[in-house]
């Protein structure tokens, strides 16, 4: 049975249709790379899957649970790391993670052990009891990452999880994702960073204007469309038509290709 099932998913904000009949079946243990240009509907899809938006048409099942009918049950079983780092600034990382852990029914000792170990591995060992109002975006993102993973969920939704992280932290998170996948977690990973998606994904889904344009493993997409995921992305989303735009940006006498 599919662990994530999406049937005829449609979503609109007023007259703006964001998702247009999305159909997907995702098997347990798959790492899904979900890519697309800005405004394609990636974050909207992730929010729906995570039970944060039930104003949509169609059917979405997470491990057999209908997201629209029981979003709380879905939230209990998943891990979710959003792109926007909205956290309680006046709390410390430990206080914040104690709150999140309690919501997941974790024992206090286990919360403290995992929070200390996981934050320490991300370079925040000295900041466990500092107020997060002084944290950089990257530091906040690390706390969010731990909050989404410390209850060891088997279904994980990541929406641009590398935002604000430095190069070493990006490598660390890539390794974490690979380890989670090796342990059998199902990961739905939305990102603009093509090389990471290319390396970690079992299956890549390209969304454009709310519609699925491509779906397959990288080898299949490479044989059909191009040599790198970046070039495949460019070809399928019209980016190749805009490659002369940089010259027109600096020189008013040069017209952009799409003019």
pLDDT higher than threshold 80 for residue 259: no
Higher pLDDT, 87 or 204: 204
Which residues touch 163 (CB under 8 Å, ≥6 apart)? 83, 85, 137, 141
Specify the length of the chain in residues: 259
Cα–Cα nearest to 114, from 65, 165, 79, 88: 79
pLDDT range class, residue 87, cuts 50, 70, 90: confident
Distance CA 190, CA 193 (A): 9
Distance between CA atoms of residues 29 and 180, nearest Å: 9
Q: What is the mean pLDDT of the chain?
A: 90
Percent of the chain with pLDDT over 90: 68
Which of 43, 6, 13 minimizes the C-alpha distance to 207?
Answer: 43
Task: Show the tokens assigned to 116.
Answer: 């200390």
Return the pLDDT at 138. Answer: 92
Give me 237's structure tokens. Answer: 């989303």
Q: CATH topology for 4-242? A: Rossmann fold (3.40.50)
Question: In whole angstroms, what is the distance from residue 256 CA to residue 259 CA?
Answer: 6
Mean pLDDT of 189-208: 91
pLDDT at 237: 82
Q: Stretch 38-64: mean pLDDT, rounded?
A: 95
Give residue 76's pLDDT.
Answer: 93
Beta carbons within 10 angstroms of residue 176's beta carbon: 16
Q: What CA–CA distance (Å, rounded) separates 247 from 258?
A: 13
What pTM value is reported for the model?
Answer: 0.89
> What's the mean pLDDT in 196-208?
92
Distances (CA, A) of 118 to 94, 125, 157: 11, 9, 18
């Amino acid at each position: 049975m599919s662990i994530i099932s999406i049937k005829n998913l449609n979503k609109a904000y007023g007259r703006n249709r964001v998702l247009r009949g999305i159909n997907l079946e995702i098997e347990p243990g798959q790492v899904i790379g979900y890519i697309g240009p800005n405004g394609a509907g990636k974050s909207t899809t992730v929010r729906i899957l995570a039970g944060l938006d039930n104003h949509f048409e169609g059917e979405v099942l997470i491990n057999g649970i209908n997201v629209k009918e029981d979003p709380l049950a879905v939230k209990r079983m998943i891990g979710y790391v959003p792109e926007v780092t909205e956290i309680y600034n006046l709390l410390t990382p430990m206080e914040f993670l104690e709150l999140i852990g309690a919501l997941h029914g974790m024992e206090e000792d286990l919360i403290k052990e995992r929070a200390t170990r996981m934050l320490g591995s991300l370079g925040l060992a000295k900041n466990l009891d500092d107020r997060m109002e002084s944290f950089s975006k990257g530091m906040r993102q690390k706390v969010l990452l731990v909050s989404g993973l410390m209850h060891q969920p088997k279904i994980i939704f990541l929406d641009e999880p590398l935002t604000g992280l430095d190069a070493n932290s990006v490598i660390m998170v890539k390794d974490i994702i690979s380890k989670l996948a090796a342990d059998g977690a199902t990961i739905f990973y939305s990102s603009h960073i093509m090389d990471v998606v290319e390396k970690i994904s079992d299956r890549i889904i390209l969304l454009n204007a709310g519609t699925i344009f491509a779906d397959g493993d990288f080898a299949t997409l490479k044989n059909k469309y191009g040599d790198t995921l970046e070039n495949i992305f460019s070809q399928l989303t019209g980016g190749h038509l805009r490659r002369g735009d940089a010259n027109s940006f600096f020189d008013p006498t040069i017209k952009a290709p799409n003019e």
